[in-house]
């Protein structure tokens, strides 16, 4: 009987030792099988196609054109340049080397967008793709400018294979979670162009999901700290100071203190400034988890000259025309 108990105890002890031994083996850290991504050499970048969304803003089209021209100038060759269009039922080729500009339909773009917050942009290497995009399309030009400045200015530079740069740009937020942060100001005796422009701005923002915007005339007490969009020629100090510094043939969207000024010397010029402003708003829009809409974009003066006008011979590349017609020859300040 004693021998049976002893034999059973030994068997249990052996099983316990084997179990402990197995546990110790499982606690051993796994072998690192991650292989570091190889850098992208300038000569290799020539083999990448440039891809932008089929439907996007004029600013993204213009920025993609700038990138294409820089590649031609510094790398030579004839890189492919097109849109992200895919035939029905077809999927993108993940093995193809592409530079993806903006909110393309490629899964690599979606992967990078998931890492971004409002007001951010990114340049990242993902597999065989180089992704250049903003949280909204309004911030994609900031990503393009960062990439050009760091890798395609003067001489082409080697691009790290694990590149993942996230940057921010000073932002103007017109609408936050459905609530308008700016009010509209026009002259007490506004011109038809200013009146029409003011209502177009209000209708556009409200159509995107904003609550009703407040509208006032410049007869109200001036508050330099109030967030306001001045449409046309108002009596406010910000407008008058800006007017003194503007050449007679210019118009545009300016930022002076807390004011956004849609400036023009004539009614036609004010209309062109409003066109430029309104045309970019849908690309600055995003919806939060509660379904509330916000509208935010980089704070940047857009100045154009009547000398640019509406020409039919604007430079054209594989990506399309440069910038909006209203911004032909524009200066970015």
Q: How confident is the model over 284-303, as pLDDT tens digits?
A: 999 999 999 999 999 987 87
User: pLDDT category, 5, cuts 50, 70, 90?
Assistant: very low
Q: Which position has the token pair 């009010």?
A: 183
**Per-domain residue ranges of the chain:** 42-86+94-169, 174-332
Instruction: Note if the pTM is more than 0.85.
Output: no
Most confident of 16-20, 210-214, 308-312: 210-214
User: pLDDT category, 305, cuts 50, 70, 90?
Assistant: low
242, pLDDT greater than 90: yes
22, pLDDT greater than 90: no
Tokens of 257: 């203190």
Tokens of 276: 């430029």
Rounded Cα gap, residues 137 and 227, in angstroms: 24
- Residues 129/101, Cβ–Cβ less than 8 Å: no
Sequence-separated contacts (24+) of 82-91 with Cβ below 8 Å: 82/49, 82/50, 82/51, 82/52, 82/318, 83/51, 83/52, 83/53, 83/54, 84/51, 84/52, 84/53, 84/54, 85/54
Tens of pLDDT, residues 87-130: 999 999 999 999 999 999 999 999 999 999 999 999 999 999 99
Higher per-residue confidence, 18 vs 130: 130
Stretch 45-64: mean pLDDT, rounded? 94
User: pLDDT category, 136, cuts 50, 70, 90?
Assistant: very high
Q: Do domains 42-86+94-169 and 174-332 have the same CATH topology?
A: yes
Tens of pLDDT, residues 163-210: 999 999 999 999 999 999 999 999 999 999 999 999 999 999 999 999
Tokens of 205: 């923002």
Q: Which position has the token pair 């309104």?
A: 278
The least confident of 16-30, 187-201, 247-261 is 16-30
Q: Which helix (H) or strand (E) holds 134?
A: strand 129-134
220, pLDDT greater than 90: no
Going by the DSSP 8-state scheme, the letter that residue 221 receives in this structure is P
pLDDT of residue 314: 37
Tokens of 138: 């309004």
User: Which CATH entry fits the domain spanning 174-332: 3.40.50.1240, 3.40.50.1100, 2.60.40.10, 3.30.379.10?
Assistant: 3.30.379.10
Stretch 250-259: mean pLDDT, rounded? 94
Strands (E), 187-269: 215-217, 228-231, 250-256, 259-264
- Residues 234/187, Cβ–Cβ less than 8 Å: yes
Average pLDDT of the chain to the nearest whole number? 84
261, pLDDT greater than 60: yes
pLDDT of residue 183: 98
Class of domain 42-86+94-169: alpha beta
């Amino acid at each position: 009987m004693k021998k049976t108990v002893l034999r059973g105890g030994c068997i249990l002890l052996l099983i316990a030792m084997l179990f402990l031994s197995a546990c110790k083996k499982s606690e051993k850290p796994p072998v690192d099988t991650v292989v570091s991504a190889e850098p992208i050499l300038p000569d290799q970048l020539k083999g990448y196609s440039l891809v932008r969304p089929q439907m996007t803003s004029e600013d993204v089209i213009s920025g993609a054109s700038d990138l294409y021209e820089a590649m031609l100038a510094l790398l030579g060759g004839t890189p492919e340049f097109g849109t992200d269009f895919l035939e029905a039922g077809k999927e993108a080729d993940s093995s193809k080397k592409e530079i993806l500009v903006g909110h393309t339909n490629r899964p690599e773009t979606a992967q990078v967008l998931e890492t971004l917050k409002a007001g951010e942009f990114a340049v990242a290497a993902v597999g065989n793709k180089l992704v250049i995009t903003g949280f909204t399309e309004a911030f994609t030009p900031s990503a393009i400018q960062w990439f050009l400045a760091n890798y395609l200015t003067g001489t082409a530079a080697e691009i790290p294979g694990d590149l993942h740069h996230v940057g921010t740009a000073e932002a103007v937020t017109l609408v936050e979670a459905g609530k308008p942060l700016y009010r509209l100001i026009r002259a007490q005796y506004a011109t038809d162009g200013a009146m029409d422009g003011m209502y177009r701005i209000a209708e556009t923002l409200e159509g995107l999901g904003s609550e009703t915007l407040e509208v006032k005339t410049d007869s109200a007490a001036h508050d330099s700290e109030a967030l306001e969009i001045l449409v046309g020629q108002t009596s406010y100090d910000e407008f008058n100071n800006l007017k003194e510094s503007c050449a007679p043939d210019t118009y545009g969207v300016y930022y002076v203190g807390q004011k956004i000024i849609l400036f023009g010397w004539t009614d036609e010029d004010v209309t062109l400034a409003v066109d430029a402003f309104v045309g970019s708003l849908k690309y600055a829009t995003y919806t939060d988890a509660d379904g509330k809409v916000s509208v935010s974009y980089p704070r940047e003066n857009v100045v154009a000259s009547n000398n640019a006008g509406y020409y039919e011979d604007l430079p054209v590349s594989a990506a399309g025309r440069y910038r909006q017609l209203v911004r032909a020859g524009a200066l970015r300040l």
